[in-house]
Structure 1
Amino acid sequence: MSSWQVQEAKQRFSEVLRHAHSEGPQIVTRHGEEIAVVIDIEEYRTLKAARLDFKDFLRSGPDLSELDIHRASEPAPSIDLTLE
């Protein structure tokens, strides 16, 4: 992964895009801090398609309706939470 300072990335934007396409993600930094990533459109589409919203994530889980789950009949133990 290559790293570009903001000023250099601005001046050589076409080159940054070519590198993102041929070499992978390109990091952009400002004052040594990573602030952005330039990625190829196909990688972006792959990442975007792989993302599920929370509702779909829950629905994609295993079917738990056939599990035989039993709760203990005795009450839960009481816990003293006072500070000593």
Structure 2
Amino acid sequence: MNEWPLHDAKNRFSAVVAAAVAGEPQRVTRRGKPAVVVLAVEEYERLRLKEAAVAPSLAEVLLAMPRDDGEFERRPLALRRVDL
């Protein structure tokens, strides 16, 4: 993976895009720290589909939660007065 400082990536953006489209992701750094990765659309979509395929559904997450069938003690609460 090629690494580009941000100012170079700005100046040579078409080269960054061309390399990404050719199949090689391009890392862009800001102040020496990785900031973004430029990917081809096909690679991005492949990664999104792969993530969605392994991500659990909401129902699976809820069903995997530990269950406690015990009773919970209610604390006595004073009701507040409401003027209608």
**Structure 2 length-normalised TM:** 0.61
Larger % of helix: which? Answer: 2
- The CA RMSD measured in Å over matched residues stands at 2.1
- State how many pairs are aligned: 59
CA distance in 2, matches of 1:51, 1:33: 25
Q: CA deviation at 1:54?
A: 2.6
The alpha carbon displacement at 1:23 in A equals 4.2
2:18 match: 18
Q: Distance in 1 between matches of 2:4 and 2:38?
A: 10
Q: What is the identity, as a one-letter code, of the residue corresponding to 1:2?
A: N
**Counterpart residue type for residue 54 of structure 1:** P
In structure 1, distance between residues paired with 2:42 and 2:23:
13
- Whether the 8 Å contact between 2:23 and 2:40 is mirrored in structure 1 is no
Detail structure 1 runs of 4+ shifted over 6 Å in the superposition: none
Report % sequence identity: 36
Q: Which amino acid aligns with 2:9?
A: A
Q: Unaligned regions of 5+ residues in structure 2, if any?
A: 62-84
Q: How does 1:42-57 map to 2 (within 5 A)?
A: 42-52=42-52, 53-55=55-57
Query: C-alpha distance in 2, partners of 1:5/1:23?
Result: 20
Matches within 5 A, 1:1-84: 1-52=1-52, 53-55=55-57, 58=60
SS class of match (2:29): strand
Is the partner of 1:29 in helix, strand or coil?
Answer: strand
